[in-house]
Amino acid sequence: MSVPDAARALGGTEQPNAARMYDYFLGGSHNFAADRTAAEGLLSVAPDARDNARENRAFLRRVVGYLLDQGVRQFLDLGSGIPTAGNVHEIAHARDPGSRVVYVDVEPIAVETSRRLLADTPNADVVHADLREPDTVWSQATLLDPGEPIAILAISVLHFIPNSDDPERILGEYLARSRYLALSHVVVDEAPPPESEDGLAVYARTATPVTLRDSAQVTAFFHGHPLVEPGLVPVSHWRADGDVEPSAIHGAVAEV
């Protein structure tokens, strides 16, 4: 499938979605007018959205470095997005070319661009699947050796899974076969400010509405497994250098 064909496969380019809005925030070129309009709409009520996206990517890079330090050489990246600078396989292969990375996304352009990027890359694969179907994901993640430690990455994706889909149960099905879980999620612990209602309204008109959760709800996704230091904190503070503003996206890593 070509990238334009992929765009048509997800209801065309008329309805914005999280993958392409995020690509726009990160300065990518795989987005369309509807995505840019929605992203600008979000920036008008939540000016930090672009910074949040960048901090989230920086968190992902630090997390992968941490997991490599722990000896992990296999990564299942759920909701991996449209490839951009500092992809998981680039970080992992720079440390150990034998590391194995499987990307999973439901969005056709994210999958198609990943497929092109990885065409000549050994030890990296992409699966077009919905993370809400763990059996389907695992059955296609054939690059990963179930006998060796696997880290699950669910970075800035679970807020696109509504409570009605029971994301805690879904994560349980990934935890059962993994050694680490790393995730990030938009966290709102106090009464949401009025602009977050406006931000939710922007996403409600996309193919990927957002569900806000508090720290306790996000912590429950780890099923009681201990969080490595510093626990669930703004991604900008997770093992980061320097004095940076707290991000609205919080992240944590648990050892299973």
Ligand X SMILES: C[S@@+](CC[C@H](N)C(=O)[O-])C[C@H]1O[C@@H](n2cnc3c(N)ncnc32)[C@H](O)[C@@H]1O
Binding footprint of ligand X on the chain (CB under 6 A): 18-19, 22, 56-57, 60, 79-81, 104-107, 110, 130-132, 155-157, 160, 208
Residue closer to ligand X by CB (options 156, 236) is: 156
3-class DSSP state of 82 = coil
Q: How would you classify the pairing of strands 249-255 and 233-234?
A: antiparallel
Residue (27 or 226) nearer to ligand X, CB: 27
**CB 95 to ligand X: min, Å:** 19
Nearest approach in angstroms of CB 81 to ligand X is 3
CB of 113: closest distance to ligand X in angstroms?
Answer: 10
Q: Which CB sits closer to ligand X, 110 or 181?
A: 110
Torsion angle (degrees, nearest 10) of CA 213, 217, 222, 227: 90
Pick between residue 22 and residue 221 the one whose CB is nearest to ligand X: 22
User: Could you tell me the smallest distance in angstroms from the CB atom of residue 166 to ligand X?
Assistant: 13
Which contacts qualify for 131-135: CB closer than 8 Å, 24 or more apart?
131/78, 131/79, 131/104, 131/106, 131/157, 131/161, 131/170, 132/161, 132/165, 132/170, 134/170, 134/173, 134/174, 135/173
